[in-house]
Amino acid sequence: MTVLSKTMMTTGAIGTNSLASQIPKALVVSNLGRTRYADAWDLQHRLFELRQQGLVDDLLLFTEHEHVYTIGKGGDSNHLLASEKDLIREDTDLFRIDRGGDITYHGPGQIVGYPIIDLNHYFLDIHRYLRSLEQAIILTLAEFEIEAGREEGMTGVWVAGEKIAAIGVRVRRWVTMHGFALNVNTDLTKFEKIIPCGIFHKGVTSMKQILNREMPVEDVRHSLTEKLATVFGCQARTIPPEILHQEVPSLQDEHI
């Protein structure tokens, strides 16, 4: 048994009367640090496949990406306002990816979270999953005295009508990937080169802008971990990213 799969996992959905269903589910958390989008996407896809095979526990990957715009599978390329020359000059990548949603920006000062979890052990409801992610972020922001909430008919977390956290996910066989991006100390001028999430009439904000001070990213990340574990009723344990890079290739090789 590997470090990525050390704990007893339940085999039934929440709500069963078995003793196993009362055992907290494992959530393996790892902070990848600063990453290029392509590298994190590759690792996420490999872990997604391993989770579908039941070879690893549920995971939560954190990262801060280098500058990148991503467009979801239903997104409109016209919502990217930057030219190719702009992207090259500002060392900004562009990817069309397999999540839901439109275009968004990721970059330094923004906490990106990628939950790779099997909803068979929680609930088979994608809308409830999205609302659960929103709730964990809302609770985190409350810990920093920011009153956040939802906007009717829209996904994400908002403060006074401006988006502070974007959410876009993919679910296959009830295993999740992609996730959320919370603006902590994000350079908000990067959003001026896109129509964020395809929404014309709403602005974007950050914790730094609201509180008028640089925020401790590690403290926010720690709070997000706690709140996600609480919302999903699981037990989080942290491992260094080196473990992921060591164990993932061997797990794949063993099960080709």
Q: Which CATH number fits the domain 24-254, given the four candidates 3.30.930.10, 3.40.50.261, 2.40.170.20, 3.30.1370.10?
A: 3.30.930.10
pLDDT digits (tens, 9 = 90+) for 64-83: 999 999 998 888 888 999 98
Average pLDDT value for residue range 199-227:
93
Residue 16 has pLDDT above 50, yes or no: no
- Judge whether 83 and 32 are in contact, CB under 8 Å: no
Please tell me the distance from the alpha carbon of residue 206 to that of residue 29, in angstroms, as a whole number: 24
Per DSSP, 16 falls in state -
Q: What b-and-e string marks burial along 151-189, b requiring 16 or more CB atoms within 10 Å of the CB?
A: eeeebbbbbeebbbbbbbbbbeebbbbbbbbbbbbbebe
Q: What b-and-e string marks burial along 238-249, b requiring 16 or more CB atoms within 10 Å of the CB?
A: ebebeebeebbe
- Using a pLDDT cut of 70, give the percent of the chain over it: 89
Average pLDDT value for residue range 4-12:
53
Please tell me the distance from the alpha carbon of residue 190 to that of residue 106, in angstroms, as a whole number: 9
Beta-bridged to residue 183, according to DSSP, are: 110
Per DSSP, 149 falls in state B
Which pLDDT score, from 0 to 100, does residue 251 have? 81
Which pLDDT score, from 0 to 100, does residue 2 have? 76
Average pLDDT value for residue range 71-97:
90
Alpha-helical runs (H) found in the chain: 37-52, 84-89, 126-143, 207-211, 217-232, 241-254
Active site residue 197: yes
Which residue shows structure tokens 């403060």? 159
User: Which residues, at least 6 apart from 141, have a Cβ–Cβ distance to it below 8 Å?
Assistant: 147, 148, 157, 159, 164, 207
**Which residue in the list 32, 71, 197, 204 is annotated as catalytic?**
197
Where do the domains of the chain lie? 24-254
Average pLDDT value for residue range 93-119:
93
- Model pTM greater than 0.95? no
